[in-house]
Chain A
Amino acid sequence: MSVVTPAEVRAVAWLARIDVPEDRLPQVAAQLDDILAYVRKLQAIPTQSVEPTSHVLPLSNVTRADQPVPPLPAEQAVRLAPDQRGHLVRVPKVVDVG
């Protein structure tokens, strides 16, 4: 039974900025379906009495003191970008703010 539709693959691919050709959409949808079917096995396990958890490690409240440490030199930081001008990272024009 197919759950993932080609249209969903197209939408998710766009959100992830991955180029998936139109003619491959049904194939990728089917593959994603297989993966979901595999994970779906977990749904057979009764979890009503289990707290939802996002971590398996018995760790919580890990914080650091509000102490500044020396940052990277600007030239080193911007050198990592594909394009720069001075100490600014240069990107294709974006118009809207927010």
Chain B
Amino acid sequence: MTAYEPVIGLEVHVQLATASKLFCGCPTTFGAAPNSQTCPVCLGLPGTLPVLNQRAFELGIRTAVALECRVAEVMKFDRKQYFYPDLPKGYQISQYDRPLAHDGHLDVAGGEAVKRIRIRRAHLEEDAGKLLHDPNEPFSYVDFNRAGIPLLEIVTEPDLRLPEDAYAYLVELKAILRALGVSNCNMEEGSLRCDANVSLRPSGAAELGAKVEIKNLNSFKAVKDALAFEMDRQRRVLERGEAVAQETRLWNARAQTTEPMRSKEEASDYRYFPEPDLVPFHIEAAAVERARRELPELPARHRQRLVEAYGLSAYDAGVLAQFRPLGALFEQTVAHYPKPKPVVNWIMGDLLGYLNGRSQDPETLVFQPAWLVHLLEAIERGEISGKTAKALFVEALERQRDPQELMQGRDVRQIVDAGELERLVDVVVSEHQKSVADYQKGKANALMFLVGKCMERSQGKANPQQLKSILQRKLAEPREAVS
């Protein structure tokens, strides 16, 4: 039986973080009322002229530089022509033969080795409108608010081999885009969209097999699942001795399958031609150089620094570099509480646990480093128990308040006074003589029962380890009280 090798390429559409659209001044606010953000330009009314948004242009260059692309000296726009109800002009303004940038790469940790994924091109284009469907009616509805929203399309070479590679590429790309501040990358809002191309070829063959494009991938997990399904489907087709049809398929997340898309247009005859309403753009080498100098620290470098400067594990560094608010919280906390180990443990354990429990994106985290510093200091001074600290941490997250402030005027401080603890133990011992006797007869469990009773009486404010040692000492003493 022939072994097949999958060949995968990805096309990612990123919404650039601008206040206005790509070629007109309409606002880009997400979630506005239908058709409340349009104008004659983005509706394609006769006699209007598009003018390029300077900021979208700059964000595109910044991204291209971060992806190690060659930025074009001259770029131009073209019309990609097709009819569809979400496309008001009958064409999309995109870039065909002179894109903004080309020939870049992105290094992705895949398994043990780092894989270099080549970026074929990155180009600017406008988004289409949004179609709404009512299954019970013979109509569809169009909201043109998205029409004209600035997108950067980033296309890889077919360098990916596994669904996991595709997933890792997307995670890394998203971390870079967020570090650059060029997009909010919110998949629910359509700010980051991905199409995947996959084909199989006999292992070792040079030429590519028939390519299937998969659309409707609305999460990174969907990309991974759809690719795994599609590879398996194509393998079965080939093993039956049939040919894979070159086509576009849609991912059905509910059924976990891909389905052929009913063709809306004869295979991509877009008749691109230069957009006569937009003049060409020259990009000076100095502008590219400036963009390069102004790049922030990118996730790969950040990971490396976290490992080297703080001795973090590769895994922890990876998570902190992937989500900027977590990385910033870590570094700013360590600046005032220079013990990386407990700090990273709180972030990776309690904080991520809290966020995961609420399905909250770490990017949306609001938490002051000073709050974590105050919490860690209080633990270190023995003022609060570990259990109290965990509860305070969650409360601080929920109420957006400094744990120190929350502690004030509240009796949460741990009982550290030895005399107080001794008195507490004495009361419990005198109330539970049977357990004391059991323990002294050798029932080890009885000791933990007594510790529990002491904790109950202290309302959780005593330190169980301390209680345990006091109890052990007291119960080992000659029992003058009962003699």
Task: Please indicate whether A and B come from the same complex rather than being unrelated chains.
Answer: yes
Give the distance in Å from the alpha carbon of A75 to the alpha carbon of B25 in the complex: 19
Question: Measured between C-beta atoms, what is the minimum distance from B124 to chain A in Å?
Answer: 12
Q: What residues of chain B lie closer than 8 Å to A74, measured between beta carbons?
A: 33-36, 38
On whether the beta carbons of B279 and A60 are closer than 8 Å, the reply is: yes
Closest chain B residue, CB of each to CB of A15: B269
Interface size, chain A (Cβ < 8 Å): 39
Tell yes or no: A71 within 8 A of B by CB. yes
Tell yes or no: A66 within 8 A of B by CB. yes
On whether the beta carbons of B262 and A90 are closer than 8 Å, the reply is: no
Residue-wise interface mask of A (1-15) relative to B, using a CB-CB cutoff of 8 A (1 in contact, 0 not): 000000000010011
Tell yes or no: A21 within 8 A of B by CB. no
Q: What residues of chain A lie closer than 8 Å to B141, measured between beta carbons?
A: 85, 88-91
Residue-wise interface mask of B (115-143) relative to A, using a CB-CB cutoff of 8 A (1 in contact, 0 not): 00000000000000001110001111111
Tell yes or no: A42 within 8 A of B by CB. no
Q: What residues of chain A lie closer than 8 Å to B269, measured between beta carbons?
A: 11, 15
Spot the interface stretch: A22-30, A31-39, A51-59: A51-59
Interface size, chain B (Cβ < 8 Å): 59
On whether the beta carbons of A55 and B51 are closer than 8 Å, the reply is: no
Given contacts A55-B276, A80-B43, A98-B261, contact A93 B52 (CB under 8 A): no
Residue-wise interface mask of A (55-98) relative to B, using a CB-CB cutoff of 8 A (1 in contact, 0 not): 10101111111111101111001101000011111111111111
Interface centre among B25, B248, B282 (most CB of A within 10 A): B25
On whether the beta carbons of A11 and B140 are closer than 8 Å, the reply is: no
Tell yes or no: A17 within 8 A of B by CB. yes
Q: What residues of chain B lie closer than 8 Å to A96, measured between beta carbons?
A: 250, 261-262, 264
Spot the interface stretch: B53-61, B292-300, B379-387, B469-477: B53-61
Tell yes or no: B266 within 8 A of A by CB. yes
Q: Select A63's contact among B19, B57, B266, beta carbons within 8 Å.
A: B57
Give the distance in Å from the alpha carbon of A77 to the alpha carbon of B274 in the complex: 28
Q: Select B19's contact among A66, A85, A89, beta carbons within 8 Å.
A: A66
On whether the beta carbons of B25 and A91 are closer than 8 Å, the reply is: no
Q: Select A98's contact among B216, B275, B280, beta carbons within 8 Å.
A: B216
Q: What residues of chain B lie closer than 8 Å to A64, measured between beta carbons?
A: 25, 51-54
Tell yes or no: B76 within 8 A of A by CB. yes
Given contacts A67-B19, A68-B25, A97-B216, contact A91 B85 (CB under 8 A): yes
Would you call the interface of chain A mostly helix, strand, loop, or mixed? loop
Tell yes or no: B45 within 8 A of A by CB. yes
Q: Which of B135-156 contact A (CB under 8 A)?
A: 137-144
Q: Select A66's contact among B40, B55, B139, beta carbons within 8 Å.
A: B55
Q: Select B27's contact among A15, A68, A91, beta carbons within 8 Å.
A: A68
On whether the beta carbons of A98 and B250 are closer than 8 Å, the reply is: yes
Residue-wise interface mask of B (262-281) relative to A, using a CB-CB cutoff of 8 A (1 in contact, 0 not): 10101001010011101111
Give the distance in Å from the alpha carbon of A43 to the alpha carbon of B271 in the complex: 21
Question: Measured between C-beta atoms, what is the minimum distance from A11 to chain B in Å?
Answer: 7
Tell yes or no: B215 within 8 A of A by CB. yes
Question: Measured between C-beta atoms, what is the minimum distance from A81 to chain B in Å?
Answer: 8
Q: Select A88's contact among B34, B53, B216, beta carbons within 8 Å.
A: B34
Question: Measured between C-beta atoms, what is the minimum distance from A97 to chain B in Å?
Answer: 6
Give the distance in Å from the alpha carbon of A94 to the alpha carbon of B269 in the complex: 20
Q: What residues of chain B lie closer than 8 Å to A92, measured between beta carbons?
A: 85, 138-140
Given contacts A71-B27, A71-B39, A87-B34, contact A65 B54 (CB under 8 A): yes
Tell yes or no: B449 within 8 A of A by CB. no
Given contacts A54-B76, A78-B35, contact A95 B139 (CB under 8 A): no
Give the distance in Å from the alpha carbon of A55 to the alpha carbon of B275 in the complex: 9
Give the distance in Å from the alpha carbon of A63 to the alpha carbon of B49 in the complex: 12
Closest chain B residue, CB of each to CB of A69: B25
Interface centre among B141, B262, B271, B282 (most CB of A within 10 A): B141
Give the distance in Å from the alpha carbon of A57 to the alpha carbon of B277 in the complex: 11
Given contacts A14-B266, A62-B51, contact A91 B280 (CB under 8 A): no
Q: What residues of chain B lie closer than 8 Å to A93, measured between beta carbons?
A: 133, 137-140
On whether the beta carbons of B35 and A77 are closer than 8 Å, the reply is: yes
Closest chain A residue, CB of each to CB of B138: A93
Tell yes or no: B84 within 8 A of A by CB. yes
Q: Name 15 extra pairs, CB < 8 A, besides A65-B55, A87-B35, A88-B143.
A: A15-B269, A61-B279, A62-B51, A67-B19, A68-B20, A68-B27, A68-B28, A69-B20, A77-B144, A87-B36, A88-B141, A88-B142, A91-B142, A93-B139, A97-B216
Q: List 7 A-B contacts (CB under 8 A).
A: A57-B279, A63-B54, A65-B54, A66-B54, A67-B19, A97-B131, A98-B215
- 8 closest pairs, A vs B, by CB? A69-B25, A54-B274, A66-B55, A63-B54, A88-B141, A68-B27, A91-B85, A89-B142
